[in-house]
């Protein structure tokens, strides 16, 4: 991504702007990944019980129907 952005630079004066844009884009992506990581932690590390059994049933169905978007 950085290479693509820097490839658009036409003068040295644009470099700082491109770097700031890159940092903003990376931060947004990183925050999304972080949020998903915490969501998955809660979802996959349930204690034994009703919530865990429901999750396991939903996961089994999703694997059978190849609808994995809820879990991956």
Please write the tens of the pLDDT for every residue from 12-70.
999 999 999 999 999 999 999 999 999 888 888 888 999 999 989 988 888 887 765 55
d(CA 17, CA 8): 11
In 10 A of CB 52, how many CB atoms?
14
The whole-angstrom distance between residue 57's C-alpha and the CA centroid of its chain comes to 24
pTM higher than 0.85 = no
> What pLDDT score does 69 carry?
55
> What pLDDT score does 30 carry?
95
* DSSP classification of residue 13: G
Task: Tell me the CA distances in angstroms from 15 to 7, 11, 27, one per residue in order.
Answer: 10, 7, 18
């Amino acid at each position: 991504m950085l290479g693509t952005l820097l490839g658009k630079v036409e003068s040295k004066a644009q470099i700082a702007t491109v770097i700031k844009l890159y940092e903003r884009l990376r931060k947004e992506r990183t925050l999304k990944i972080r949020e998903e990581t915490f969501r998955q932690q809660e979802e996959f590390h349930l204690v034994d019980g009703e919530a865990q059994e429901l999750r396991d049933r939903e996961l089994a169905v999703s694997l059978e129907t190849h609808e994995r978007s809820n879990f991956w």
